[in-house]
Amino acid sequence: MKRYHLLFLLPFVLVTTASAQNFLKNPGFEDWGSDGLPSFWTSSTNSCQKSTVTHSGSGAVKLVNSQIFGTSIMGAISQDSIRVSGSTFSVKGWYQLHPDGGDGLAIFIWIYGQGEYAGLTGANVLDIVGTKDVWTAFALGAIMTPGTTGDSAAVDFWIMPDSASDSWHPGTYVLLDDIVLDNTVTGITRDEFTSPSNFSLSQNYPNPFNPSTQIEFTVPTRSHVTLKVYNIMGQEVKTLIDQDLQAGRYKADFDGSSLPSGTYLYRIQAGTFSKTSKMTLLK
């Protein structure tokens, strides 16, 4: 781990349209399969249920934390390989958050291109904390690499651990309904990506990776920083940083040579700042 002196900046454009196509299938969680999951959605931790407490219609999804043999399993649901088109995208919808302890909700949007723009062309994450026992709207825009377009996308919803204890609580649950993925952009804050006076955690690069990748972050004041990697079961697989750091821009190297292919989460905690993002190891 060492200091670095260049942070790649991703400019953005705020776009609004009167109407746009919803690229998601089964966005209101009305259709459910025999496997107990909403049609066209997947859950890597098998930790979601149908809820009759809805924002509209007759169905919503309930993400629940569970515990198996003393191991906490996070609530999670995703839809990937979504066919999209355009150069700007956002995911919007409605949620309720009922935390036990300080658990929160993380919402991810991923945009991928083909041909000239092959690979990851846009991404963003929204971390939500605090009890919301009524239906509350959210909006998250993808930050796109300038000049690129998207052909496919993925959206993910994860219950994230209490930042104070770095652990999940079995009593936490989240309700989601009426999710929209379209080619508008809303809710982007530029400061996090341009100002070294703020805490930030950037998307790892490259992503997907094999077997190593770099994670960049900024620290505006001297702070004790922890940067940890977890598997999708919420189990810690590596502590990259656990020390006091002076203000500056940093990068940490992560080597996944000893790990199986799959999705991993990395989480930074620095003072009161915490943020989580996702990366993919492909061997």
> pLDDT averaged over the chain?
83
Q: Tell me what the mean pLDDT of segment 5-11 comes to.
A: 30
Per-residue pLDDT at 6 exceeds 50? no
Strand ranges across the sheet with 150-160: 76-86, 150-160, 104-113, 119-128, 143-144
What is residue 89's predicted lDDT score, i.e. its pLDDT?
Answer: 92
Summarize pLDDT for 41-67 with one digit per residue, the tens: 998 777 889 999 999 999 999 999 876
Count Cβ atoms below 10 Å from residue 221 Cβ, excluding itself: 11
What is residue 15's predicted lDDT score, i.e. its pLDDT?
Answer: 35
DSSP per position, 98-148: E-STT-EEEEEEEEEE-GGG-EEEEEEEEEE-S-EEEEEEEEEE-EEPTT-
Query: Domains of the chain by range and CATH?
Result: 48-182 (2.60.120.890), 190-281 (2.60.40.1930)
What is residue 185's predicted lDDT score, i.e. its pLDDT?
Answer: 63
Helix (H) or strand (E) segment spanning residue 177: strand 173-182
Ramachandran category for residue 228: left, alpha or beta (phi over 0 → left; psi -120 to 50 → alpha)? beta
Q: Would the pTM count as exceeding 0.85?
A: no
What is residue 186's predicted lDDT score, i.e. its pLDDT?
Answer: 62
What is residue 71's predicted lDDT score, i.e. its pLDDT?
Answer: 64
What is residue 245's predicted lDDT score, i.e. its pLDDT?
Answer: 79
What is residue 166's predicted lDDT score, i.e. its pLDDT?
Answer: 66
What is residue 188's predicted lDDT score, i.e. its pLDDT?
Answer: 39
Per-residue pLDDT at 94 exceeds 90? yes
Summarize pLDDT for 161-218 with one digit per residue, the tens: 877 666 777 888 999 999 999 987 664 333 333 444 788 898 988 888 999 888 988 8
Per-residue pLDDT at 21 exceeds 90? no
Q: 268 - beta bridge partners? A: 227, 275
Question: Which percentage of the chain shows pLDDT scores above 70?
Answer: 86
Q: Tell me what the mean pLDDT of segment 123-150 comes to.
A: 89
- Determine the 3-state secondary structure of 194 from DSSP: helix
Reported as a pLDDT band with limits 50, 70 and 90, residue 283 is confident
Least confident span in 3-17, 99-113, 132-146, 219-233: 3-17
What is residue 169's predicted lDDT score, i.e. its pLDDT?
Answer: 77
What pairing do the DSSP bridges indicate for beta strands 76-86 and 150-160? Answer: antiparallel
What is residue 96's predicted lDDT score, i.e. its pLDDT?
Answer: 96
